[in-house]
């Protein structure tokens, strides 16, 4: 009997020990990423000519359908403000304040591959992950389609295949994961005819961005978008005016997941708070029961 | 005392007029559900990339979980704090919680794009400790299991001693019988452990449901976006627990022509105005600290819904229930309980839908026909199964006196005398 019990204890301790790291891994892994060494892209909206070559290259690389308009040379799409969706991981939009017939500048929109992604923190099954290269990628097999990532994303980037009854996917920029693993640039960067997109290590891109602003302070609005926003993003932007004109929202420096994660980890600190509540309620239950018994006994005696 | 009468199956036929109407709605809902499974979310709902969550999350899941809180609050009061006079309420509350959570899962499955992967959070290799939703999912799964375990003794009580399996299965009668006996003995010893675990798990996931939207600070309207959302969710769930028990107790007494347990209900209602007052104070303090009162002055959908939620869901029932004589009136009890339940519904809709203002949307989400019929169908289906189970299992404690129509008698005195 005693032996069995010891065995049971041993097994259960082993199980518990093997489970605890599984929970904490995701956070520690994220901390190990050196964001300066991770990949990024610098988008210089003052250089972009709105040719939509990047859109075309992206759709070909990712086997996405041809646009409804039929071709990527059509400039009439600029009349409506577009968002990335299930048929396009990236779209180019003219700045909001510029009007026809001539747009003054354009910005390419896609997943920002945040340093501290809200979607990764939100995902219930860890289908979204941030790897050390900086890529936020999505695992079709794990996903159960709750769409909490769409709720969490501050840039409103992930799109969902609502029309699919089976195996709907979360669609967003993959940062051409396979290409950059093979030391190639992302398809969009390679396709850009004017070098509005610069691919490289994030740390160096930030330096490059600042030196561009310094050497041309009249041309640039003095801010590198994505350097500090919500803890930094892999894709960073330069522009001649405020970034809100390119649908890039004004965001504080605080990482989005930090509040929910601190609430979450506060409640579950080594499982102490739930266990304490359990113990407390158990104690209450026990003492109340004793009290009732005593009352009943007193009643009988009197 | 009538209160200590043992629960018995209700002697009533299943298909009353109301039950037929409910069946029709359930059937329509089931067809809508089938439509969603065959044609996908895009065809069945008005969800899009801007509004990824609709009423299936706000009502079926979030409100469903909150309204099932009667189970754990009543268990805490009657079993843990040993307020024995409320024991007659624990079984209906437990049944509501069990069915409530079951339907939460059914509703959630409709909303999940890949519902067939719903078991994924149970695989340790996919555990994601940072995700609030993961915690909610795991807690709800365990709690639902516990609810079934807690409910099992009621099934045992019904069948133990006279198991009669039909036809060829009858040779297993004694086997099933001994299984029931063993489970009965084991459960009797372990039930307290499960009851406490149920309360702890409820506190955890009721609050975490509130944490869910904390991850979207730039999309949430300032009237609702606060870091204490988890506290507000927990407190409001605890608050709605007893009113929900009162609501369904009165409803089933009307439906089955039983005498409402007015004394017990009035007594359990005395906690509610205090909880409502706490909730109101925290809400007001929260708005004041965050300097968000200004948003109430703006005339828009958000301010309207916020005021609706607070006035109908909190202030009116609080004022009613603070008055002792009103608590002893079935009419006022029912009215205030309905207000609080409506308030919770509006609050959850507010937090998940009305407060949610995505960055680039040109339109506002409004549920599709299918979304609405599925939601209504789920509610009706729940009521039907509840009705079926209380007719066949010992859940409700009947008082012998035939129920007379009380609601027409003015004020409460006559009820007190009766």
- The domains of chain B, with CATH numbers, are 2-417 (1.20.1630.10)
Cα four-point dihedral sign A197, A200, A206, A210: negative
Cβ neighbours of residue B360 closer than 8 Å, sequence gap 6 or more: A81, A83, A156, A247, B50
* Residues of chain A contacting B138 with CB distance shorter than 8 Å: none
User: Cα separations (Å) of B150 from B75, B90, B156?
Assistant: 10, 11, 11
Cβ neighbours of residue A96 closer than 8 Å, sequence gap 6 or more: A81, A244, A245, A246, A247
* Residues of chain A contacting B133 with CB distance shorter than 8 Å: 122-124, 146, 148
Neighbours of B303 (CB within 10 A): 16
pLDDT-flagged residues of chain B (< 70): 1-4, 399-418
> Measured between CB atoms, does A203 come within 8 Å of chain B?
no
Picking from A167, A34, A195, A176, the residue whose alpha carbon sits closest to that of residue A110 is A176
Q: β-strand A170-171 against A159-160: which pairing, if any?
A: antiparallel
| Residue bearing the bigger pLDDT, A192 or A289 | A192
Q: Do A83 and B120 touch (CB under 8 A)?
A: no
Cα separation, B343 vs B351, in Å, equals 12
Cα separation, B26 vs A219, in Å, equals 64
Q: Place A96 in a pLDDT band, splitting at 50, 70 and 90.
A: confident
Cα separation, B260 vs B287, in Å, equals 40
- Secondary element (H or E) of residue A136: strand A136-138
- Residue B34 has a pLDDT of 97
> Measured between CB atoms, does A293 come within 8 Å of chain B?
no
Q: Domain extents for chain A? A: 29-256, 268-302
* Residues of chain B contacting A142 with CB distance shorter than 8 Å: 117, 120, 126
Distance from CA of B75 to the nearest CA of A (A): 11
> Measured between CB atoms, does A287 come within 8 Å of chain B?
no
Picking from B402, B378, B66, the residue whose alpha carbon sits closest to that of residue B242 is B66
Q: What is the mean pLDDT of chain A?
A: 87
Cα separation, A140 vs B111, in Å, equals 17
Distance from CA of B47 to the nearest CA of A (A): 8
Percent of chain B with pLDDT over 70: 94
Q: Place A81 in a pLDDT band, splitting at 50, 70 and 90.
A: confident
Cβ neighbours of residue B312 closer than 8 Å, sequence gap 6 or more: B339, B342, B343, B346
ipTM of the modeled complex: 0.89
For A20-24, A108-112, A230-234, B360-364, which range has the lowest pLDDT when averaged over its residues? A20-24
- Residue B322, φ and ψ in degrees, nearest 5: -70, -15
Architecture of domain A29-256: 2-Layer Sandwich (3.30)
- Residue A100 has a pLDDT of 63
* Residues of chain A contacting B230 with CB distance shorter than 8 Å: 263
Helix ranges restricted to H, B114-268:
132-159, 173-211, 229-255, 262-268
Q: Do B215 and A22 touch (CB under 8 A)?
A: no
- Residue A227 has a pLDDT of 96
- Residue A261, φ and ψ in degrees, nearest 5: -70, -35
Instruction: Average the pLDDT over A212-241 and give the result.
Output: 96
For A61-70, A112-121, A275-284, B204-213, which range has the lowest pLDDT when averaged over its residues? A61-70
* Greatest pairwise CA separation for chain A in angstroms: 99
- Residue A69 has a pLDDT of 56
Give the CA dihedral B343, B346, B348, B350, nearest 10 degrees: -130
**Which burial class, exposed, middle or buried, applies to A187 when counting CB atoms under 10 A from its CB (0-12, 13-18, 19+)?**
buried
Measured between CA atoms, the residue of chain A closest to residue B215 is A152
The secondary structure of B344-386 as a DSSP string is HHHHHHIIIIISB--TT-SS-----HHHHHHHHHHHHHHHHHH
Nearest by CB: A151 against B52, B80, B130: B52
**Which burial class, exposed, middle or buried, applies to A183 when counting CB atoms under 10 A from its CB (0-12, 13-18, 19+)?**
exposed
What is the DSSP secondary structure assignment for residue B76, as one 8-state letter? I
pLDDT at A209 over 70: yes
Note the pLDDT tens digit of each residue in A100-119. 667 889 999 999 999 999 99
* Residues of chain A contacting B113 with CB distance shorter than 8 Å: 143-147, 160-162, 164, 168
- Residue A4 has a pLDDT of 52
CA-derived radius of gyration, chain B: 22
Picking from A170, A110, A160, A112, the residue whose alpha carbon sits closest to that of residue A140 is A170
Chain center to CA of A126: 12
* Greatest pairwise CA separation for chain B in angstroms: 73
Q: Place A70 in a pLDDT band, splitting at 50, 70 and 90.
A: low
Cα separation, B60 vs B55, in Å, equals 7
Cβ neighbours of residue A247 closer than 8 Å, sequence gap 6 or more: A81, A93, A96, A107, A109, B359, B360
DSSP bridge pairs for A88 = A85
Picking from B151, B162, B146, the residue whose alpha carbon sits closest to that of residue B205 is B146
Instruction: Average the pLDDT over A223-228 and give the result.
Output: 96
Token match 């439509």: residue?
Answer: B35
Q: Do A281 and B80 touch (CB under 8 A)?
A: yes
Instruction: Report residue A41 as tokens.
Output: 């892209």
* Residues of chain A contacting B146 with CB distance shorter than 8 Å: none
Cα separation, A111 vs B115, in Å, equals 26
Distance from CA of A24 to the nearest CA of B (A): 6
> Measured between CB atoms, does A27 come within 8 Å of chain B?
yes
Picking from B312, B384, B311, the residue whose alpha carbon sits closest to that of residue B341 is B312
Collapsing DSSP states into helix, strand and coil, what is residue B269?
A: coil
pLDDT at A19 over 90: no
Cis peptide before A118 (omega within 30 of 0): no
* Residues of chain A contacting B50 with CB distance shorter than 8 Å: 156
For A172-176, A250-254, B296-300, which range has the lowest pLDDT when averaged over its residues? B296-300
């Amino acid at each position: 009997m005693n032996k069995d019990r010891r065995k049971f204890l041993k097994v259960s301790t082993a199980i518990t020990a093997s489970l605890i790291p599984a929970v904490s891994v995701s956070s520690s892994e994220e901390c190990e990423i050196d964001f300066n060494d991770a990949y990024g892209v610098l988008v210089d909206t003052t250089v972009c000519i709105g040719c939509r070559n990047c859109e075309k290259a992206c759709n070909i690389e990712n086997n996405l359908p041809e646009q409804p308009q039929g071709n990527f040379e059509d400039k009439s799409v600029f009349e409506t403000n577009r968002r990335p969706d299930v048929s396009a991981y990236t779209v180019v939009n003219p700045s909001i304040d510029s009007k026809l017939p001539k747009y003054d500048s354009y910005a390419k929109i896609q997943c920002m591959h945040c340093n501290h992604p809200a979607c990764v923190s939100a995902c219930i099954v860890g289908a979204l992950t941030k790897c050390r290269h900086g890529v936020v990628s999505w695992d079709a097999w794990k996903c159960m389609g709750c769409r909490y990532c769409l709720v969490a994303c501050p840039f409103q980037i992930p799109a969902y295949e609502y029309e699919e009854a089976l195996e709907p996917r979360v669609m967003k920029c993959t940062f051409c994961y396979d290409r950059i693993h093979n030391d190639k640039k992302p398809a969009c960067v390679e396709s850009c005819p004017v070098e509005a997109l610069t691919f490289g290590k994030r740390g160096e891109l930030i330096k490059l961005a600042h030196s561009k602003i310094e050497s041309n302070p009249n041309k640039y609005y003095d801010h590198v978008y994505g350097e500090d926003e919500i803890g930094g993003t892999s894709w960073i932007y330069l522009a001649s005016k405020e970034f809100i004109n390119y649908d890039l929202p004004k965001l504080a420096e605080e990482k989005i997941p930090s509040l929910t994660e601190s609430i979450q980890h506060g409640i579950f600190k080594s499982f102490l708070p739930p266990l304490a509540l359990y113990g407390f309620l158990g104690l209450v239950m026990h003492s109340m029961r004793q009290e009732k018994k005593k009352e009943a006994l007193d009643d009988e005696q009197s | 005392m009538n209160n200590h009468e043992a629960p018995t199956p209700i002697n009533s036929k299943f298909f009353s007029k109301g039950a037929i109407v409910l069946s029709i709605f359930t059937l329509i809902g089931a067809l809508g559900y089938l439509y969603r499974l065959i044609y996908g979310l895009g065809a069945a709902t008005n969800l899009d990339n801007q509004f990824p969550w609709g009423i299936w999350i706000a009502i079926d899941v979030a409100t469903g979980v909150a309204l099932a809180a009667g189970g754990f609050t009543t268990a805490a009061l009657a079993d843990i704090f040993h307020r024995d006079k409320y024991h007659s309420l624990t079984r209906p509350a437990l049944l509501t919680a069990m069915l409530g959570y079951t339907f939460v899962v059914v509703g959630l499955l409709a909303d999940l794009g890949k519902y067939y992967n719903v078991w994924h959070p149970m695989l340790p290799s996919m555990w994601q400790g940072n995700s609030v939703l993961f915690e909610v999912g795991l807690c709800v799964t365990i709690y639902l299991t516990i609810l079934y375990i807690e409910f099992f003794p009621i099934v045992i009580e019904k069948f133990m001693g006279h198991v009669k399996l039909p036809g060829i299965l009858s040779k297993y009668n004694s086997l099933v019988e001994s299984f029931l006996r063993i489970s009965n003995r084991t459960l009797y010893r372990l039930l307290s452990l499960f009851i406490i675990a149920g309360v702890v798990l409820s506190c955890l996931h009721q609050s975490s449901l509130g944490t869910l939207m904390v991850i979207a600070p730039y999309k949430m309207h300032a009237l609702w976006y606060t870091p204490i959302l988890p506290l507000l969710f927990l407190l409001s769930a605890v608050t709605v627990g007893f009113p929900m028990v009162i609501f369904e107790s009165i409803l089933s007494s009307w439906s089955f022509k039983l005498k409402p347990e007015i004394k017990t209900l009035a007594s359990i209602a005395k906690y509610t105005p205090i909880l409502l007052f706490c909730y109101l104070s925290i809400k007001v303090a929260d708005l004041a600290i965050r300097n968000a009162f200004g948003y109430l002055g703006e005339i828009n959908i958000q301010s309207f819904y916020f005021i609706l939620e607070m006035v109908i869901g909190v202030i009116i029932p609080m004022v009613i229930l603070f008055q002792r004589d009103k608590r002893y009136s079935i009419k006022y009890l029912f009215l205030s309980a309905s207000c609080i339940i409506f308030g919770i519904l509006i609050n959850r809709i507010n937090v998940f839908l009305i407060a949610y203002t995505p960055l680039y949307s040109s339109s506002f989400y409004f549920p599709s026909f299918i979304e609405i019929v599925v939601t209504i169908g789920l509610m009706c289906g729940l009521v039907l199964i509840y009705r079926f189970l209380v007719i066949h299992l010992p859940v409700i404690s009947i008082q012998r006196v035939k129920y007379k129509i009380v609601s027409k008698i003015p004020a409460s005195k006559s009820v007190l005398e009766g």
